Chain A
Amino acid sequence: MMSDTNRKPKPRPAPESLPYWQTAREHRLALPKCEACQQFWFPPSRTCPHCLSTRFSFETVSGKGKIYSFVTFHRVYRPAFEHDVPYVVALVELDEGPRLLTNILGVAYDQVTCDMRVEVVFDDFDSEISIPKFRPA
């Protein structure tokens, strides 16, 4: 099925990432945490990649971290982003360890730097989905 390229893509959660999106809708960032080795991981899956335990639960994290790296989109890859360029996509390393792709808000695109401290904010996409994004902390 082709998605409508004039609308921003709505995340289509895999079954294993549903709890992530359900908690994000409540404006909480929650990631799978292993009950055996106590480590977080991302993206969600049903087996801990650190110890292969299948016992885990989604736990709320601090929402704080730093920018590991980032890029600035100048090319419009989908018409829905035409008015957003130039926009920043960053890989944020949470204080709990996992790294997430995200957008950086609240700062000019040319002022973003590696290792900048950031915190999560939630962008309500529609009545079902809120998208975790980050801003300078």
Chain B
Amino acid sequence: MIQDLSPARELRDTCAIVGTATSRLGKVPGVSSLDLIVEAISNALDDAGLKPGDVDGVLCRGPDESYSHHQLVAERLGINASFSTTLTNGGASQIMSVALAVMAIRFGLARTIVCGFGRDTWSRTHSSEEARVRNETRPESMLAREFGPEYGYFGATAAHALGATRHMHLYGTTRDQFGEIAVAFRQHALRNPDASMKKPLTIDDYHNGRLIVAPFGIYDCSLRSDAAGAVIVTSAERAKDLKQPPVLIKGFGFHNNTRGWFADDNMVVTAAKQAGAAAYAMAGLGPQDVDTAQIYDCFTYMVLTQLEDYGFCKKGEGGAFVGSGALRLEGQLPCNTSGGQLSEAHCEGMLQIVEGVRQLRHTYPDHRQVKDAEIALVSGHGGNQVCHSTLILGRA
């Protein structure tokens, strides 16, 4: 655990996100992971009014099986980078890349850094009958060989569902409460023309959805998407002269429960607890200051438990909190306001960062805008369920 946060506090507000964009989202046949991330970065540069020659850093996560992915990205952008690398921390990598950019810029290792992630996940799992049956984003060599497959235990859905069952047992959490998360995010997606999901979802639809790995049904599970997102980070000083209203990076924090998802009570109390505490301390803020939360929603339950771990309600009260309608646009804590990974597109947390930035720019039409949003909290989760990162953004 971090004891002394003063060095991190010195980084507060030193850097800003000055450009952000996504690639095409959803079903984008015929493009590779690399094509998608380059498309998103290119769009983000346009958004910022910058050219590749203005960029001297690339921090990205590859699609796992790719070697030195950042190098391929920089080559496509036609740049030599002062500071670049590929991160491998699962869905917690994307926020970590933003934090690493802040540190590099603050200490003069680079001036302007692009951070991004993209993967052709829909294409990988739906491009053929064989791909549909296999339904895997990773190569065979990366999958478990024992202590899982022989029991018919496959996939991330089951891993997260184990946490949901335990939470329901300890706290009386219900599928109705998970369902409210799916329904709220779907409502947000219907206001987002880029979102994959276009049909309304009711709580009855949720309960009628087929079971996948109980307690999770189809609507508890995030989408399989071809998707990429990118943000451009530079110093707060340089940000003042750029095209967009800068969004300040106020805090970040990390924690990995690397003893494992099955160890201790890690599937009920996630690493969001320590990552969030570090990010709040760096930002000098607390949960009461957060106007909108963009939470890593690989599954409905993961939203509920993270909201508890971030202190928006007490442990065990997440069900009642979401059940009150808190996550809706007009609620107490508008959450995943673009539809999230459940209803917009799944880009392993990258689109959560994009949406946090967009909400703080106040450029959305009223029906999508979180009113008077000043502070956004963004979460990233992954790496066999135990790696966590938190980002706190604020209006300049």
Contacts from A to B (Cβ < 8 Å):
1-3, 5, 8-14, 17, 21, 43, 49, 68-75, 77-79, 81, 84, 86-87, 89, 91, 99-103, 113-115, 125, 131, 133
Contact A89:B140 (CB < 8 A) given known A68-B166, A71-B213, A72-B214: no
A1, A3, A14, A71: which contacts B214 (Cβ < 8 A)? A71
Residues A69 and B211 in contact, CB atoms below 8 Å apart: no
Interchain CA distance A103-B148 in the complex, whole Å:
10
Residues 186-242 of B contacting A (Cβ, < 8 Å): 210-216
Which interface class (under 10, 10 to 19, 20 to 34, 35 or more) fits B? 20 to 34
User: Please, which residues of chain A bring their CB within 8 A of the CB of B145?
Assistant: 11-14
Q: Give Cα A57–Cα B128 distance, bound, in whole angstroms.
A: 47
CA separation between A114 and B135, bound complex, in Å? 29
Determine the distance from Cα of A12 to Cα of B144 in the docked complex, in whole angstroms: 9
Task: Please tell me if B4 contacts chain A, counting CB pairs below 8 Å.
Answer: no
13 A-B contact pairs sorted by A residue (CB < 8 Å) = A11-B147, A11-B149, A12-B145, A43-B146, A69-B166, A71-B215, A72-B211, A74-B210, A74-B212, A89-B151, A89-B158, A91-B262, A133-B151
Asked if A69 and B165 make an inter-chain contact with CB atoms under 8 angstroms apart, the answer reads yes
Mostly, the B contact residues are: mixed
Q: Which of chain A's residues has its CB closest to B159's CB?
A: A71
Verify B166–A73 contact, CB threshold 8 A: no
Contact of B153 among A2, A75, A99, A101 (CB under 8 A): A101
Q: In the assembled complex, how far is the CB of residue A112 from the closest CB belonging to chain B, in whole angstroms?
A: 10
Given A5-B133, A69-B162, A131-B150, A99 and B262 touching (CB < 8 A)? yes
Least Cβ distance of A23 to chain B in Å?
Answer: 14
A125: which B residues are within 8 A, CB to CB?
Answer: 150
Query: Which residues on the B side are within 8 Å of A3 (C-beta)?
Result: 140
